[in-house]
Amino acid sequence: MRHRFRFFRSERIFSAAKRAVPLPGALCAAVTLFAQAAGAAQHVVTAYSNLTFSPAAITIQQGDTIRFENGGGAHNVHADDDRFICSVNCTTDNGPSSTKWSVVVRFDELGTIGYYCDKHGGTGGGMRGSITVIDRVFVDGFDETIGRSPLR
């Protein structure tokens, strides 16, 4: 199964499988407002000069975004399955960089995604982290109604 993730930065949507598609500012704002209205949250993961990501493991809900940022050192974020490779951006300038970069990645598929810094880690260890994406429906209380009679 191919995973479809969208990457938001300024007025562009980035896709791991397709090239960047520019969006008019109003449409980008509408997409952002829709995501916020649907209960999506933005989380922050920082790459530090001590060769760690913080937090190293994070659980988010489907549709949430993570803003990856460089807190010092030459780093990037590279998904184990190559669905995203980002630093200054997620397309042409995505190798380890010591600039103060920040990128936003949206996660729509459920599951666990490992990621690492190309310079200081890899799929087997080193500077790496993981993201677990869970179903928003079960988090928001849908599962509490299972087994109850609708007449109670």
13 is a domain residue: yes
151 is a domain residue: no
120 is a domain residue: yes
111 is a domain residue: yes
Which tens digit of pLDDT belongs to each residue from 57-107? 999 999 999 999 999 999 999 999 999 999 999 999 999 999 999 999 999
Which tens digit of pLDDT belongs to each residue from 14-32? 433 333 333 344 444 444 4
The encoded tokens of residue 90 equal 């997620």
132 is a domain residue: yes
User: What pLDDT sits at residue 39?
Assistant: 77
CATH of the domain at 127: 2.60.40.420
Residue pair 22/11 in contact (Cβ under 8 Å)? The answer is: yes
More confident residue, 35 or 105: 105
48 is a domain residue: yes
User: What pLDDT sits at residue 141?
Assistant: 57
* Domain extent for 72: 6-145
34 is a domain residue: yes
Backbone phi, psi, residue 41, to 5° = -120, 155
CB 77: neighbour CB atoms within 10 A? Answer: 28
* Average of per-residue pLDDT values in the chain: 78
Predicted model pTM: 0.69
Q: How many domains does the chain have?
A: 1
The one-letter code for the residue type at 66 is: I
1 is a domain residue: no
